[in-house]
């Protein structure tokens, strides 16, 4: 699949593009810069090896450099075969001192070989996005690798779900902080980040006008809410499909039409799956689709649009634009799949903007510091401590020039009286 980002062929140009773009992202991540400043003096991560499996983007580069500034040595691989920005990997490898094992479009065996290379660095802390590195160190790495890990962090909803399943079945060997669940992560990154960047990916890939189009959003968690809100903001008519009755009700009261996928399939022009579950758009829906329907996935894994059935059902398949595959069905209609059904925001665009990754990655950085300082011993899934969450919100507001109210002593006493 041809890259949407026209990476220069010349290594020197790739490197300078990576350096330039990383510096652009860093300039939009004031909270992370503040942490870096403090860590530069204190070096709280001295001697620590961190193995990270994250999307290799400019924002991730800013996080890696922050961890290095704190005294850690870091190795990085990709958390999705299609999300690596090759200029960033090049800059990290060749100039910024972060060994990075990732290549955009790497096949599955290379993807897992790269995870193995990060595990081979025998990290003390692992930082994961989606749970592949965590699963790998538990099942495929030599026992000494697992034995060396004192804790981990997890960036995304799907990863946290996998971790909780492991913990329930006593298969998790170390404490992991669910960064995803911090308020300053999920309410902002999942909602505003996914909302904007998923539509960005669809627009970059297809150049489709959203005003007046019918957009079907499958799933109404934080990510689905973001996509639905932003699509409405661009003038689309938005339909939501949802299995959870409370979320479906929320979508109704937020003013969206709520339908089953079977009923939405014949009316939608653009479909975005964000459920975290499998087989959301399947072969039972293909015959119902309008000619030219656009199918995109914004969930972590490429399991929401049944791509295998698309391949089996279609008479032919060809790439018609970068990141867009046309499928022609036996009944004559066509569907367009964006970014192979993988994360559309990272496959066809640049992922979430730096301003929102600033908060997610500040939570990551401070959670690593917490693990090192507090050393929770028991394996399990831990929340981001509330003080960290609130600190990230405070620093973000401050960087944006906003002030919050200070409670008076009288107000504090009043609140306290209810807590007794």
List of residues contacting ligand ADE (CB under 6 A): 54-55, 57, 59-60, 193, 346, 351-352, 357
- How many CA atoms within 13 Å lie on the side-chain side of 64? 32
Nearer to ligand ADE (CB atom), residue 172 or residue 357? 357
Nearer to ligand ADE (CB atom), residue 151 or residue 226? 226
The neighbour count for residue 264, using CB atoms within 10 Å, is: 23
Distance in Å, CB of 196 to ligand ADE, minimum: 10
Nearer to ligand ADE (CB atom), residue 298 or residue 307? 298
Rounded Cα gap, residues 2 and 248, in angstroms = 38
Distance in Å, CB of 55 to ligand ADE, minimum: 4
Nearer to ligand ADE (CB atom), residue 195 or residue 351? 351
Nearer to ligand ADE (CB atom), residue 145 or residue 343? 343
**Can you say whether the dihedral through the CA atoms of 41, 401, 154, 129 is positive or negative?**
negative
Distance in Å, CB of 358 to ligand ADE, minimum: 10
* Token output for 55: 């999307």
Q: Which residues pair with 355 in a beta bridge?
A: none
Nearer to ligand ADE (CB atom), residue 157 or residue 241? 157
Nearer to ligand ADE (CB atom), residue 219 or residue 268? 219
Nearer to ligand ADE (CB atom), residue 17 or residue 293? 17
Distance in Å, CB of 48 to ligand ADE, minimum: 21
Distance in Å, CB of 351 to ligand ADE, minimum: 3
Rounded Cα gap, residues 122 and 134, in angstroms = 13
Distance in Å, CB of 127 to ligand ADE, minimum: 11
Grouping H, G, I as helix, E, B as strand and the rest as coil, residue 315 is coil
Say if CB 53 and CB 78 are below 8 A apart.
yes
Residue nearest ligand ADE, Cβ-based: 351
Nearer to ligand ADE (CB atom), residue 60 or residue 73? 60
Distance in Å, CB of 87 to ligand ADE, minimum: 14
Estimate the crossing angle of helix 58-69 against helix 354-374, to 10 degrees.
30
Q: How far is CA 304 from CA 47, 349, 351, 362, in A?
A: 41, 19, 19, 30
Go through the chain and tell me how many residues it has: 420
DSSP string, 276-311: SSS-SB-TTTGGGSPTTEEEEE-SSSTTSB-HHHHH
* Residues contacting 176, CB < 8 A, separation 6+: 128, 134, 151, 152, 153, 154, 163, 380, 381, 382
Rounded Cα gap, residues 103 and 78, in angstroms = 8
Distance in Å, CB of 168 to ligand ADE, minimum: 26
Distance in Å, CB of 352 to ligand ADE, minimum: 4
Instruction: State in Å, rounded, how far the first CA of the chain is from the last one.
Output: 61
| Of 47, 55, 33, nearest in space to 100 by CA | 55
């Amino acid at each position: 699949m041809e890259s949407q980002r026209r990476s220069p062929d010349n290594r020197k140009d790739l490197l300078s593009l990576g350096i330039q773009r990383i510096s652009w992202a860093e300039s939009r991540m004031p909270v992370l810069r503040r942490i870096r400043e403090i860590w530069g003096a204190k070096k709280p991560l001295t001697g620590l090896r961190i193995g990270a499996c994250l999307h290799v983007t400019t924002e991730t580069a800013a996080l890696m450099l922050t961890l290095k500034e704190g005294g850690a040595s870091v190795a990085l691989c990709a958390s999705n075969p299609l999300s690596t920005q090759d200029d960033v990997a090049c800059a990290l490898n060749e100039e910024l001192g972060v060994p990075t094992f990732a290549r955009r479009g790497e096949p599955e065996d290379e993807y897992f070989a790269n995870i193995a290379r990060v595990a081979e660095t025998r990290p003390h802390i692992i930082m994961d996005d989606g749970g592949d590195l965590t699963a790998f160190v538990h099942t495929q790495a030599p026992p000494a690798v697992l034995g060396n890990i004192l804790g981990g962090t997890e960036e995304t909803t799907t990863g946290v779900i996998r971790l909780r399943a492991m913990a329930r079945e006593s298969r998790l060997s170390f404490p992991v902080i669910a960064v995803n669940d911090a308020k300053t992560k999920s309410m902002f990154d999942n909602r505003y980040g996914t909302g904007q960047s998923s539509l960005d990916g669809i627009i970059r890939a297809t150049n489709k006008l959203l005003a007046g189009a019918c957009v079907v959003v499958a799933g109404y968690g934080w990510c689905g809410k973001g996509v639905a809100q932003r699509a409405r903001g661009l003038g689309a008519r938005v339909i939501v499909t949802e299995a959870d009755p409370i979320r479906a009700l929320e979508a109704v009261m937020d003013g969206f039409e709520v339908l089953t996928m079977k009923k939405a399939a014949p009316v939608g022009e653009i479909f975005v799956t964000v459920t975290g579950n499998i087989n959301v758009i399947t072969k039972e829906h293909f015959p119902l689709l309008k000619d030219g329907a656009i199918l995109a996935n914004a969930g972590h894994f490429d399991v929401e649009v049944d791509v295998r059935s698309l391949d089996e059902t279609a008479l032919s398949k060809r790439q018609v634009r970068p990141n867009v595959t046309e499928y022609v069905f036996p009944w004559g209609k066509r569907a367009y799949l964006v970014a192979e059904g993988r994360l559309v925001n990272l496959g066809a665009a640049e992922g979430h903007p730096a301003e929102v990754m600033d908060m997610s990655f500040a939570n990551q950085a401070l959670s690593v510091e917490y693990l090192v300082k507090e050393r929770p011993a028991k394996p399990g899934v831990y929340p981001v401590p509330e003080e960290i969450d609130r600190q990230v919100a405070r620093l973000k507001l401050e960087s944006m020039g906003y002030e919050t109210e200070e409670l008076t002593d009288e107000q504090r006493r009043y609140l306290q009286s209810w807590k007794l």
